[in-house]
Amino acid sequence: MKHFINLKDIPAKDLRKIISDAKKRKNSRNKLNTLEVDKGAPLKGKILIQMFEKASSRTRISFYLAIKQLGGGTLTLRSNELHLGQGGESIADTAKILSTYGDGFMMRTDSDKKIEDFKRYLSVPIINGLSPSSHPTQVLSDIFTVEEIIKKPISKLNICWIGDSNNVLDSLIAASVKFSFKLSIGCPKKFEPGKKVRNWVKKNNKKIYIYNDAKKAVSNADVIFSDKVISLNDKVNKKKKIKAFKNFKIDKKLMSHAKKNCIFLHCLPRGDEVSDDVFLGNKSHVWQQALNRVHVQKSILLYCFGKLR
Ligand code: CP
Ligand code: NVA
């Protein structure tokens, strides 16, 4: 049984296979309407149970569409509607019940440990739909988007992240090792990636490039990624943190220090880290990026259900 919890733990060849499958499936849907099912309905009769402990627009809707297009269905739950969330039922019993009714489980949570605990007790695959340390479905889909737009393997590109050291960046760092691309990070000293992730990069004989100067970080970039400075449920002094990032705003001036054809991507939701003219400008591909979540998650589901071609 294959889980999808953290890009670090998934073999690079499996990640590449998921991307290749997503490409074929996306191309073969040109003439199909949103809810029409892919040829062969590979997940016919299957149900994915999704549980959210935090807000979500894209992850929730894109997983719904993904499994529908494969012939299956979803049930979406808020944890506070369950006995688990009310504190009256254990993870072990909840996991047993989810495995009895469902074929797969996707969860968004504030606790990495909870995902590991569910994994221990589930007898169906679990997908991480965002946790404090990882947002793997987002980042794998973003690799797909970069290669789709630039039409080169990501290993040949300079990727830059301007922003906080959060779950999305941790997954992007993992991806930089798995897909062998150069990753430059621009952020204030206080918000650099932590020791754990840096040691993991070192252990894998790779390097990431960290700058406390946004211009240096974007220099020669083919792609600039960003995310909100304040993440969902970030328990910091928000005003102070936003102030610390004041020299890291992505505006046209900063974009002009990157390569001429540099593109801009952002997982959304957004805050003030990017100016409107960049976010809505012609270098930005954020809507295509959001749509691609559907296509890549279909192949992630097939991987987890043991049905990847
Ligand atoms: N990018 C992303 O995961 O969006 P949601 O929080 O809306 O799911
Ligand atoms: N870093 C953000 C990502 C949202 C999709 C958060 O955790 O809120």
Same domain, yes or no: 16 and 150:
no
Question: What's the gap in Å between 168 CA and the centre of ligand 2?
Answer: 7
Contacts of 220 (CB under 8 A, 6+ apart): 158, 258, 259
- Whose atoms come closest to the Cα of 128: which ligand? 1
Ligand number nearest to the C-alpha of 56: 1
Q: Ligand 2: which atom is nearest the Cα of residue 54?
A: 8
Residue 221 has pLDDT above 90, yes or no: yes
Cβ atoms 89, 81 nearer than 8 A: no
Residues 185 and 63 in one domain: no
**Do 188 and 239 sit in the same domain of this protein?**
yes
Q: Cα 21 to the chain's mean position, in Å?
A: 18
The pairing of strands 104-108 and 158-162 is: unpaired
Which residues lie with the beta carbon below 6 Å from any ligand 1 atom? 56-59, 130, 138, 267-268
- Got the DSSP string for 259-292? -TT-EEEE-S---TTB-HHHHTSTTB-HHHHHHH
In a shared domain, residues 13 and 47: yes
Instruction: Please identify, by atom number, the ligand 2 atom nearest to the C-alpha of residue 164.
Output: 1
Ligand nearest the Cα atom of residue 271 = 2
Over the chain, what is the mean pLDDT? 97
Whether 1 is covered by a domain: the verdict is no
Helix (H) or strand (E) holding 13: helix 12-27
Same domain, 164 and 231: yes
How many domains are there within the chain? 2
Same domain, 207 and 269: yes
Q: Which helix (H) or strand (E) holds 296?
A: helix 286-304
Active site residues: 108, 135, 138, 227, 267, 293
- Is the shortest distance between the CB of 167 and ligand 2 below 6 Å? yes
Closest CA to 54 of 5, 105, 91, 109: 109
What's 28's DSSP letter?
A: T
Q: Are residues 189 and 90 in the same domain?
A: no
Q: How far is 50 from 89, CA to CA, in rounded Å?
A: 18
Position 212, amino acid: N
Condensed to tens digits (0 to 9), the pLDDT of residues 125-143 reads 999 999 999 999 999 999 9
Q: Are residues 260 and 141 both part of a single domain?
A: yes
Residue 188: asked if its preceding bond is cis (omega within 30°), the reply is no
Q: How far is CA 12 from the centre of its chain?
A: 16
Statement to judge: residues 61 and 151 lie in one domain: no
Domain ranges, residue 247: 136-289
Q: Whole-model pTM?
A: 0.98
**Given a cut of 90, is residue 87 above it in pLDDT?**
no
218 burial class (0-12, 13-18, 19+ CB within 10 angstroms)? buried
Instruction: Using pLDDT thresholds of 50, 70 and 90, give the confidence band for residue 233.
Output: confident
How far, in Å, is the centroid of ligand 1 from the Cα of 131?
12
pLDDT tens digits, 20-49: 999 999 999 988 999 999 999 999 999 999
Mutate to test the pocket of ligand 1, among 138, 145, 225 (most ligand atoms within 8 A of CB): 138
CATH of the domain at 108: 3.40.50.1370
Alpha carbon of 45 to ligand 2 centroid (Å): 32
216 with 108, same domain: the answer is no
Residue 116 lies in a domain: yes
194 CB contacts (<8 Å, ≥6 apart)? 165
